[in-house]
Amino acid sequence: MGVCRLAESEGRAICFGDLIPANCVFHRLSEELFALAFPAISTWKLFRGHMASEGSSWPKVRSDELPEGLSDREDGGNSSDETHEGLQRIRDRYQIPDNVFLRILYPDERACSSKYDDVAFYEADFNVRLRFPMQLFMRELLDHLHLSPGHLAPNAWRTVISCMVMWRVCSKGADSLTMDELLYCYKPYQIAISLGFWTLNNRQKGLKLITGLPTSNREWKDGYVFICGDNWEGLSWEEKDESFVRVRRAWGTPPASAIKCPKLNQERLNRVLRALHHRDHHYTNFIQPELLALYSFSPERNETILSLQETTQKRMATAKLNKEKLKRMMEKKDVVPVNLGKKRQGDSALKPASDEVVARPVAVHESVPVNQVPASSVEAVELTESVVTKEDMDNYSKLNTDVVKRALAHSLMKGLTEAIVVANQCMQREEGIVKLKSQLTDTMDANRTLSSTAAELTRKKNILTDDIARMRIESSIKDEKLKRTKESHMKALDQLKVLSDQMEAAGARAIEEYKSSDACDDNNTKYFLAGFELLRKQAKAKYPDLDFDVFQPNEDDDSVAPMEEGDGAAASVDPQLADDTTN
């Protein structure tokens, strides 16, 4: 302890003068202890001086300016604030209208079970820009999913509000988000570690409309208040008739039909693609108070909100400045040289050895004197008394000189042995530290290279994922067109089959009608008689001795009469049959 005090105050090892010879072990021990203690003390003095020199430029951060957590409670209860002052703070901070009644919970109440059919709202929901009165789309979404406002996690509200603003921004205020469009892109999903609470996840990996959502909202379920009445549900122009969509009071579970992905027509698919091709998708760009007020999703900011926003910006700037100053100070912090060699008797404590490793140059502002021998024994005694205090000698005052002598020799040898062992271990550790530092440098360089490569690959992956998502949507559109074309083709085939059946039926009817007509009978008779006459002529030509005139086709007058005309009957023979006869 005395060695450290003397090294800090005078910057030199203890010199006992004539009391201890120069070749004594105690003198060597004091130099070794000084060599071990002085570098650490010098580094601390430099660091303390640097902090003291810049102390006035460091801004003070007050506790009332620190950001308030979602679970801050004044009296340790379950709601965000359990005092009327706390409710007034919430009303002023989130611009809740005066006609909306807020109340704290009773000891036996929870957010999911209100005594008076009131609705619980978490303060985290207000932080993501949920404002009163509630928008019609929000109430329709909650009613469709059979959920109360407290069911949805803060990231779900961030997604809903950001998508509502994105649709207005992309259409320049002309289009509003529909429930089918939102559920086409996002699927309601129950949080595994918080059963009963729901969020919205992307249905397709490449269909990311909103990005940058926080991965954790710590203790957001601790802060909530109850909203009473129903004058916060609808907008001022809405009529609360039978068609008015109210907010559910009871906590439920979405049915399977509500979670199913809806089908969109071509117009709504084009609106989804338009939002997907927007230049920026980070949620903070869409929940800005100016945009929300522009599209009537929140009231205009009053003086309280502007003052709070200014205070928050100053606090963030102060924290950023403190972080930058601390980073610069850590980069400029000096590293004391480490002596890896063995100290020789008579060498100066500040003289660097030949195998000294220096990570950064040391800036020593004070001159450190070398060991000096006191001019007289009186001065040596005074120096010794200044180092060894009365408290250090109380334990030895009652002992004999021989005992003190033996104990002092034993203590000196034990201390010297321990110091040598510690010095050797330190040298081994320092060699390992130097190697580890070089390996760390190489690893950091490789890590930076890998990080840049990973960032580039991630960028390309995102581009390819977006392209795949667009191709999927275009493929679904083409599939719809192909489906409609196939349906039209099938309808045409059915009509053609019906027409073919009608043609066949008409042809059969025409044949039957012709068979039953007189014209068919006349033609059959005519060709029969002509054939019979040709047969008789051929037979007569082959058998001239026989009389074939006795053969008549029929005995009635109608069939015989044409044959009696002779040449006239021959003239009525079919020319084709006549040609066959001549041949």
User: Over the stretch 459-474, which tens digit does the pLDDT of each residue have?
Assistant: 999 999 999 999 999 9
Together in a domain, 110 and 194:
yes
Q: What is the DSSP letter of 203?
A: S
Nearest of 445, 429, 469, 437 to residue 208 by alpha carbon: 469
Together in a domain, 459 and 577:
no
Together in a domain, 510 and 444:
yes
Please say which residue of 489, 516, 543 terminates a domain.
516
CB proximity list for 24: less than 8 A, separation 6 or greater? none
- Residue 108 within a domain: yes
CA dihedral 526, 532, 537, 543 (to 10 degrees): -170
The length of the chain, given as a count of residues: 583
What pLDDT is attached to residue 220? 83
Together in a domain, 541 and 489:
no
Instruction: Tell me the DSSP string of 425-447.
Output: HHHHHHHHHHHHHHHHHHHHHHH
What pLDDT is attached to residue 6? 55
pTM for the predicted model, two decimal places: 0.45
Structural domain count of the chain? 3
- Residue 502 within a domain: yes
Together in a domain, 117 and 170:
yes
Contact status, residue 395 vs residue 37, Cβ threshold 8 Å = no
What pLDDT is attached to residue 164? 96
Together in a domain, 438 and 561:
no
Please say which residue of 501, 516, 531 terminates a domain.
516
What pLDDT is attached to residue 254? 92
- Residue 452 within a domain: yes
Together in a domain, 542 and 504:
no
* Domain carrying residue 507: 433-516
Together in a domain, 558 and 546:
yes
- Residue 118 within a domain: yes
Nearest of 215, 433, 416 to residue 335 by alpha carbon: 433
Together in a domain, 495 and 527:
no
- Residue 26 within a domain: no
- Residue 40 within a domain: no
Low-confidence residues in the chain, pLDDT < 70? 1-29, 34, 36-83, 329-330, 332-400, 402-408, 553-583
What pLDDT is attached to residue 376? 60
> Residue 187: what are its φ and ψ, rounded to 5°?
-115, 130
What pLDDT is attached to residue 75? 40
Dump pLDDT digits (tens) for 493-503: 999 999 999 99
Together in a domain, 483 and 535:
no
- Residue 212 within a domain: yes
Please say which residue of 491, 516, 541 terminates a domain.
516
Longest dimension (CA), the chain: 190
Q: How far is CA 127 from CA 157, 189, 395, in A?
A: 10, 22, 66
What pLDDT is attached to residue 80? 41
Together in a domain, 234 and 288:
yes
What pLDDT is attached to residue 325? 72
- Residue 77 within a domain: no
Nearest of 231, 234, 252 to residue 243 by alpha carbon: 234
**CA separation for the pair 87, 91 (Å, rounded):** 6
What pLDDT is attached to residue 563? 44
Together in a domain, 162 and 284:
yes
**CA separation for the pair 128, 159 (Å, rounded):** 10
